[in-house]
Structure 1
Amino acid sequence: MTLHYQAGFGSELQSEALPGALPPHNSPQHVPYGLYAEQISGTAFSAPRHQNRRSWLYRIRPVAGQVCDQPYEQPRFGAALDIATPPVPLRWYPPALPATPTDFVDGLFTIAGNGSAALQHGFGIHMYAASRSMHERVFCNADAEMLIVPQQGALRVATELGLLDVEPQEIVVIPRGIRFAIALTEGTARGYVCENLGAPFRLPDLGVIGANGLAAARDFYYPQAWFEDRAVPTQLITRYLGRLWQGTLTHSPFDVVAWHGNHAPCKYDLRRFNTLGSVSFDHPDPSIFLVLQSPSEAPGVDDLDFVVFPPRVLVAQETFRPPWFHRNIASEFMGLIHGAYDAKTAGFVPGGASLHPCMTGHGPDAATVARALQADTHTADYLTDTMAFMFETRLPMLVSHDALASPLRQQGYADCWQGLESRFTGQIRVDPC
C-alpha cells in the first residue's frame, strides 16, 4: 500500500477516505454515510487559537461505552523511579532484541522521568525492543503525547486518523489520547520513546534566525484518512495516571472515515533539519539544534526539548570544534540513531544512551580532546556519518531502579575523561617571606 501524506506542523488539515465523508462546515453533525461525529480535544476548549489542538473524527462507531478497567501488567514500562539517583554521568549499551515474541507495548522499558501525570507536567523516557507486530491490540496514552524515535527497524503506525510509515532517522509524534498500533515491517525493531506530560510539542520561534532554519513546518507529514470496518475483538491498553489498564473492544478502533483538525499524529525526517552553526570562532549553544519544544509557564524556559545533531560541516577556525565542557541547569538524555557522535570515540554506540544529570560536568572524552587539539582548523570538518538526538529538560531526571541495576549500564563511564591531564603552562610566583 502506497501511503499519501499532508504537510504542515500544527496546521488545520482535513482528509476523507470516501468522497463526501466530510460534512459541510455549517452542519458538522449532519454526517454522510451514517457516520458518527466525535471531537477529540488535546488542549482546553478555550486555549488561545495558536495553541488550541482539536480534531473532528467521523467514524463508523462511537467510542462511548468502551470499558478499559482491568489492570495490565507490564512492570518494565513505568518502573519505579529512584529518588536517590546519583549525580553522576550514566551510559547504557543498546538493548538486545527479544528472543521471544514481544510487541511494542511489552517491549517498552523505562529509563528515567519526573513530574506527574495527575498534575500534567513532566516527562518519561523509555526505550523499546520488539520482535513482533501488535495484533488485534491497540494502545492509548491518556497521560501524555508520545514522541517515538526508531533506531533499528522500520515501523508502520496505524492510528485512528490514518497510517504512517516511519523508518530510522525519522520520528513520529502521537498526540495524547490517539489510539494506535505498531507493526514491524522488518521483523524486529528498537528505539526510544519520550512521554511529554506537559504542553504539546510545538516548533520553536526562530527569533533573530529569521524566517528560515531548523525544522520546517512543511516537512511534518500527516496521514490521509484510512479506515477498516472489522467486527473483531481488539484489546485496548490505556495508560492512565501512570498505570496500564486493559479492556476489549468489539471492533477495530481504526474506523475513522474522515477527519479535520490539528490534533493528529505526524512524522518528520530528521535528515531534513536545516542545521545552523558558527562560521567564525565560537561554539553555539545546543539550542540551535532544537526541533520541538514543550514550553512551560516561564518565558524562554521549556519543560522539555527535543534536539537533534545531524550531519553538518564544522568550519570555525582557530577554535576547539567539539562541544565545550559544561554543566547545565538542564538534564540531558542522549541517544544515537546512526553512525558516531563527534564528542565520544567509544562506548556511545547506535541504540545506546547516556544521561548527564543537572549540574554534572561532561563534555568530549579524552581521546576526542587529544584529536581536536591536533586538528587543522583551517580545513573544514565534514561530519557525515552521524545522527544523534537529545531529550533535554529543566526537571531533574530520576532514573528507574531497573535502569540503574541493568547489566546494560556501563560501569566506569566517567573513566573516559580520566586522560584529561593538566596542560597548564603558567608559573605561580611565590614571594619570599
Structure 2
Amino acid sequence: MTELTYLAGFGNQHQSEAVPGALPIGRNSPQRAPHGLYAELLSGSAFTAPRADNHRTWLYRRQPSVVCGGYEALPHAGWKSGAAQGEAAPPDPLRWGPTPLAGEGDFIDGLRSYAVNGEPGVGGMTALAFVATRPMGRRALVNADGEMLIVPQQGRLLITTELGRLQVAPGSIALLPRGMAFKVDPLDAPARGYVCENLGASFRLPELGPIGSNGLANARDFEAPVAWHETDAGLYEIVKRHGGQLWRAVQPHSPFNVVAWHGNLAPYRYDTARFMTINTVSFDHPDPSIFTVLTSPSDTPGWANVDFVIFPPRWMVAEDTFRPPWYHRNVMSEFMGLVLGQYDAKPEGFKPGGASLHNSYVPHGPDEEAFDKASHAELKPHKLDATLAFMFETRWPLKPTAWALGEAPLEKTYSACWQGLADQFRPG
C-alpha cells in the first residue's frame, strides 16, 4: 500500500487537506465551504470547557453525518460494557491463555469483553480482546460511549478514520476518539490484540511531577493522520455503540468523506519503542505509575478512571534489593496483557495474546520460579529485552464477563503458581 504520512504531536492544533483549497482560513471562510463541501464540528468536550481541556475538530466533508438511515438493534454476544453486564465472581486472581485465532469475522465481529466496570455515559472502562480475519469492507464503527485504545498483538492493522488512515503494528497503539467513525482492516490476517474502551474522561498524557520536563511518553511521538477521503460510491453500514448496546443503520455514502479538517481532536498512533523509561538505581522496585503512557483522570486527583501502562524493554539497575515487582495488594484493579516476549514476574504461564486480572486488593506478585530466581540472582545491571507487556489500571473493580469465565481460555489453576512459596522464617 502507499506509504502514509502523519502529523506529529498529541493534542496539537492540526490542519490537513487532501485537496488544495479545501480548508477555509479565518476571514477567508466563505458563506459556503470551498468545493461544495459541508462544514461539520466534532466536539470532544463541552463548548465552554477550559481552553486546555477543550477538544474539537472542524470537518469539511462531501456529505454531512446526518445523511443516514434509521438505526435498529444489532445483537452482539461478545461486546459487553458497564458493570451491569458483568458476572459475579470471587476475588481470585484470573489468567487467560492466548485468545484463539479460529473463526471468520471482521474487527467488530471479533470483539469479546474480558471485564467491565462503570457505566456508559458515566465512567469506567471495558477490557476486550479482538480477532480479525477479514477487512470491514463498507462497514464503519462509531463508539458514542467512549474512546477506543487499540493494542495490536499479532498482525498489522490499517485503521481508516474520518480524518485519515493509520497503519499500526504490534508494538504500537492506536487511540480513536469517542464519536468518530473508523474501521479496522487486518493487513496480516488473522490479526489479534486488545482494546480498552474508555467510558470516562478522555485519555491524556500524565503530569510528570518530580520526573521533570523529560520522560515517559513525549507528545511529539504521537502521530495523527493527514486528510484522506474515500472516493468509491455505494452504501455503507454504520454500526454505533450507544448506551452499552450496538445499533446499525445504512447510509448512501462513505463516512470517510472528509476532504479537509483542523482541530485538536484527532486519532493517534504511538510507537511504544519511543517511551522514555524511568527506573530505580538504588533500592526497592518502583511503582508501575512510572510506566504510564496515558491517563484518564477521575474526580479524585491521582486516582485514575483508567491508566494505560506499559512494561517495555528496559535496564534493571539497583543495589541490594529485589528486582521484579514485590507482592502487593492494590486499591486499583489491574488488567494485563502481553504483546511479545516474557514478563519478568511470570516467566511461565503468561503468554503473548493472553491476559490476567487482579482486582482491587487481590494479592499478586512474582510466581515461585520468578521469586527464587530473583532472590539468588547476581545483582548487576540487567537488560530486559524483546518484551512488551501492558496494563489497564482502573479505580473501580472489574467484573469478568460470561465469555471470560466460560468460553475464553481461563486457566483454572492459575493460583497454584504461588502455592510453593513456603514459610522460610528462621528466627535467630
TM-score range, shorter chain: over 0.9
Distance 1:424 1:158 in 2: 58
Structure 2 counterpart SS, 1:26: helix
CA distance in structure 2 between the aligned counterparts of 1:95 and 1:68, rounded to whole angstroms: 35
The 5-angstrom pairing of residues 179-328 of structure 1 reads 179-328=181-330
1:137-166 CA distance string (max 9 Å, x none):
111101100000000010000110000000
**Partner Cα distance (1:280, 1:229) in 2:** 58
Q: Given that residues 23 and 30 in structure 1 are in contact (C-alpha distance below 8 angstroms), is that contact kept between their aligned partners in structure 2?
A: no
Aligned pairs for 1:360-375 within 5 A: 360-375=362-377
Partners of 1:107 and 1:271 lie apart in 2 by: 27
Equivalent residue for 1:412?
A: 413
What per-residue deviation string (whole Å, max 9, x for no partner) do you get for residues 56-105 of structure 1?
00001111141341111111111773352210100001111133x31000
Counterpart amino acid of residue 236 in structure 1: I
Match of 1:431 in 2: none
Q: Deviations over 1:16-51 (max 9, x none)?
A: 001111102235454211110000001111111111
Matching of residues 335-414 of structure 1 within 5 Å:
335-377=337-379, 379-414=380-415
Q: Which one of 52, 55, 65 corresponds to residue 53 of structure 1? A: 55
1:228-247 deviations in Å (ceiling 9; x for gaps): 23321111100000000001
Return the alpha-carbon distance in structure 1 between the equivalents of residues 28 and 244 of structure 2: 39
Q: Distance in 1 between matches of 2:108 and 2:408?
A: 22
Is contact 2:99–2:408 with CA below 8 Å preserved after alignment?
A: no
Separation in 2, partners of 1:323, 1:187: 35
How far apart in 2 are the matches of 1:199 and 1:68?
A: 29
- Aligned residue runs from structure 1 range 114-125, under 5 A: 114-118=117-121, 120-125=122-127
Question: Does 2:117 correspond to 1:102?
Answer: no
- Cα distance in 1 for residues equivalent to 2:397 and 2:390: 18
Letter in 2 for 1:393: T
Matches of 2:317 and 2:297 in 1, distance apart?
32
Cα drift, residue 366 of structure 1: 0.4
For residue 187 of structure 1, report the CA deviation from its aligned partner: 2.0
Q: Where do 5+ consecutive residues of structure 1 fail to align?
A: 428-433
Q: Which amino acid aligns with 1:226?
A: W
Counterpart of 2:129 in structure 1: which amino acid? M
- Please state whether the residue corresponding to 1:369 is helix, strand or coil: helix
Q: Aligned partners of 1:205, 1:90: CA distance in 2, in Å?
A: 31
Output the amino acid matched with 1:255: N
Partners of 2:225 and 2:6 in 1: CA distance: 5
Structure 1 residue 338: Cα displacement: 0.6
Q: 1:407 to 1:20 in 2, by over 3 A?
A: closer
Equivalent pair of 1:68/1:238 in contact (CA under 8 Å): no
1:279: Cα distance to partner?
0.6
Aligned length: 424
Partner Cα separation in structure 1 for residue 285 and residue 360 of structure 2? 21
Deviation, structure 1 residue 384: 0.4
Structure 1 position 301, deviation (Å): 1.7
AA in 2 matched with 1:128: F
Tell whether the 8 Å contact from 1:68 to 1:237 is kept in structure 2 after alignment: no
Equivalent residue for 2:332, pick from 330, 333, 339: 330
Q: Secondary structure at the match of 1:254?
A: coil
More divergent stretch after superposition (67-76 vs 56-65): 67-76
Instruction: Tell me the alpha carbon deviations over residues 315-339 of structure 1, each in whole angstroms, 9 at most, x when there is no partner.
Output: 1021100100000000000000010
In the TM superposition, what is the alpha-carbon distance from 1:407 to its structure 2 partner? 4.8
RMSD: 1.2
Q: Distance in 2 between matches of 1:86 and 1:15?
A: 51
Note the C-alpha offset of 1:385.
1.7
2:89 corresponds to = 85
Structure 2 residues not aligned, in runs of 5+: none
How far, CA to CA, are the matches of 1:66 and 1:191 in structure 2? Answer: 31
Amino-acid identity (%): 52
CA contact (8 A) 1:338 1:386 kept: yes
8 Å contact from structure 1 (residues 166, 172) kept in 2: yes
CA distance in 2 between counterparts of 1:130 and 1:65 reads 29
Give distance in 2, aligned partners of 1:352 and 1:30.
52
Deviates more, 1:322-331 or 1:66-75: 66-75
